[in-house]
Amino acid sequence: MAIRPRYISQTTPMQPSTIEELQGHYREILRLLGEDPQREGLLKTPLRVAKAMQDLTRGYSTDPIAILNSAKFQEPYDQMVIVKDINFHSLCEHHMLPFYGKAHVAYIPNGYITGLSKIARVVDAFSHRLQVQERMTLQIKDCIQEALKPLGVMVVVEARHMCMQMRGVEQESSKTVTSAFCGAFDREKTRMEFLSLIGK
């Protein structure tokens, strides 16, 4: 069963009261770790981390469908459109450690195209949330399919996960690759053309 994109209704950044509450929690975490939150080097750390989390999760206040619709143009072009090597970073929802890499996105228009930068912004919106790579890959695909209704969409994401590099099995060179596709990309020939064009 396909995982539907989760569009969050929140449209504003974190309120100052939320930042303040987060500060208090991070201060307590430092204390529980055996540190002194009042020492010089850590005095402003809770605030810095709270603000960092605000930025790292800014995708919750972004509507990816609206991003695509903001630059949706009628165009008779019906060949593959590829935006590859889209850099991203995200936070694994299991350990809240970073994972980072590249996304490659292709779609075959069905009367409408979107601004190329909007594809990268959709990746940014979904990656700036607590994520798992598998779900993020599906969300990007489903979002483009819903907004543009193209003949097909395919997404490939490759990433390195700090939760595998810094802890647990500590496999520093491992890379995870996920893909999702629909429509015209159900045909192996079309998928192989896309993979060839992104150098895979």
Span 109-149, pLDDT tens digits: 999 999 999 999 999 999 999 999 999 999 999 999 999 99
The pLDDT of residue 12 is 54
Q: Do residues 68 and 45 both lie within one domain?
A: no
Q: Does one domain contain both 102 and 193? A: yes
Q: Is 51 contained in some domain? A: yes
If asked whether residues 29 and 83 sit together in one domain, one would say no
**Alpha-carbon distance 129 to 88, whole Å?**
12
Domain around 32: 16-56
Mark whether 66 and 141 lie in a shared domain: yes
Write down the catalytic residue from 23, 131, 133, 145: 133
50-71 pLDDT, tens digit per residue, is 999 999 999 999 999 999 999 9
- Of 95, 134, 146, 165, which one is the catalytic site residue? 95
Q: Per-residue pLDDT for 1 more than 80?
A: no
Contact 127, 139 (CB under 8 A): no
Question: What would the two tokens of residue 173 be?
Answer: 């060179």
Answer yes or no: do 35 and 90 share one domain: no
Q: Which residues of 15-50 are buried (b: 16+ CB within 10 A; e: fewer)?
A: eeeebeebbeebbeebeeeeeebeeeebeebbeebb
Cα dihedral 153, 149, 66, 84, rounded to 10, equals 20
- CATH code, domain with 21: 1.10.286.10
Alpha-carbon gap, residue 77 to 110, rounded angstroms: 8
Element (H, E) at 197: helix 188-197
Active site residue 133: yes
Q: What is the DSSP-derived secondary structure letter of residue 3?
A: P
92 is catalytic: yes
Catalytic residue list contains 93: yes
21 and 114 together in one domain? no
Q: Is a pLDDT exceeding 50 seen at residue 106? A: yes
Whether residue 9 is predicted with pLDDT greater than 60 in this model: the reply is no
Same domain, residue pair 91 and 171: yes
Greater confidence (116 vs 16) lies with 116
Indicate whether 5 belongs to any domain. Answer: no
Res 6: pLDDT: 44
95 tagged catalytic: yes
For the stretch 142-195, pLDDT in tens is 999 999 999 999 999 999 999 998 888 888 889 999 999 999 999 999 999 999
